[in-house]
Chain A
């Protein structure tokens, strides 16, 4: 015998969809700014379709059954895209739980025997709850993806390599220098050295809050790698407190050219390239 609720729900598919849509649209938190009602309808219909088609006697008690894979897939897709579009977890939760309301609503109308209604409601309840869990899992995964992407972006934009002069690059480091950041710094700096054929790189650490032995090690690594490429590396922006900690921690920076400010580093770079900056003496040149 076919399970009663399956028969009822499959027969009343259109009705279920209408009820579900009604619940969704009547909710205060409906985000028409993020998704049009039409889109929402298409999305909901697709999900309901997959759900009802796979709802069978042997699957109704088993949300992990392979028959529901299609449902889980669609649900994950919806959930991830919602997370990326900026829906709140609450809104996404309401989406799936309002389906439960709709299903139960229909069952209530169709099944007259209270005992049977109770059993069937419980089954649907359990099933949708487990789908709800999937929704939240994927929703959070979607959010994590957004966070990861932003982290990548931050590390990318926070290491701009600036060409200050022909053959001289500057790289202001702002924020903490950890090992993954160092890797990004090294990569972009060395790549830029190759591309511009620069022979001097200035690492400005005025924006680095603190230099401990680990950060110093990262800096020394960057300097070594630059030298291996055949360019020289100057570290500038050594604040007094940094100088103090470096010495107190016993960090050896003697192999590295260090300057207190970017200006003095640039002057040193000019000297290495045998360039001089002179003030224009216009008056003199006219009279002579």
Chain B
């Protein structure tokens, strides 16, 4: 079965969605990602959707879910590279993804995540190792 790869970069997880999503693929990504956060103790998740041309309510919900789930596992999620047409469609659909952080491109997304993590690190100084295996 098709799967979307999740890359690990330091304490960040990187997901690049290169294919058009369908429901089961999105659901698999959700569960894979949550497992991966647990396994690696990642502090941030970056999802690059610049190649995605369609996001409907189901996939929008999955993205929202991922953000909320990783939040309660103490990882920030940033969605980067949304195409203008997709953004307009989501808003028209009534799904502004309020709880999800977004950035223009991967570079900005990284900056944003690092900023957020640094902020967290400042308040909990010994939290660097994340969860034990």
Task: State if A and B touch, Cβ cutoff 8 Å.
Answer: yes
> What is the distance, in angstroms, from B86's C-beta to the closest C-beta of chain A?
8
Give complex CA distance A226, B83 in Å.
11
CB <8 Å contact, A194 and B84: yes
Give complex CA distance A62, B120 in Å.
85
Return the chain B residue nearest A190 by Cβ: B84
Which range holds the interface residue count of chain B?
A: 20 to 34
The contact string, 1 if C-beta is below 8 Å from chain B, for chain A 219-230, is 001001111111
CB <8 Å contact, A228 and B104: no
CB <8 Å contact, A186 and B104: no
The listed residue (B90, B105, B109) touching A228 by CB distance below 8 A is: B90
> What is the distance, in angstroms, from A29's C-beta to the closest C-beta of chain B?
49
Give complex CA distance A191, B91 in Å.
16
Give complex CA distance A91, B83 in Å.
50
CB <8 Å contact, A221 and B84: no
Q: Assuming A186-B88, A187-B84, A224-B91, is B105 touching A229 (CB within 8 A)?
A: no
- In the complex, B82 has a CB within 8 A of chain A: yes
CB <8 Å contact, A230 and B103: yes
CB <8 Å contact, B84 and A227: no
- In the complex, B133 has a CB within 8 A of chain A: no
CB <8 Å contact, A230 and B82: yes
A residues near B97, Cβ cutoff 8 Å? 228
- In the complex, A199 has a CB within 8 A of chain B: yes
Q: How many residues of A contact B (CB 8 A)?
A: 18
CB <8 Å contact, A227 and B102: yes
Q: Assuming A187-B84, A187-B88, is B102 touching A228 (CB within 8 A)?
A: yes
A residues near B87, Cβ cutoff 8 Å? 190, 225-226, 228-229
The contact string, 1 if C-beta is below 8 Å from chain B, for chain A 78-98, is 000000000000000000000
CB <8 Å contact, A229 and B96: no
Residues of chain B having any CB pair with chain A under 8 Å: 79-80, 82-88, 90-92, 96-97, 102-105, 108-109
Lowest 3 CB-CB distances: which A-B pairs, in order? A190-B84, A230-B103, A230-B102
**Inter-chain pairs besides A194-B83, A230-B82, A230-B108, 14 sampled, C-beta below 8 Å:** A186-B84, A186-B88, A191-B84, A197-B105, A199-B104, A221-B92, A225-B87, A228-B86, A228-B96, A229-B82, A230-B79, A230-B102, A230-B103, A231-B104
Residues of chain A having any CB pair with chain B under 8 Å: 183, 186-187, 190-191, 193-194, 197, 199, 221, 224-231
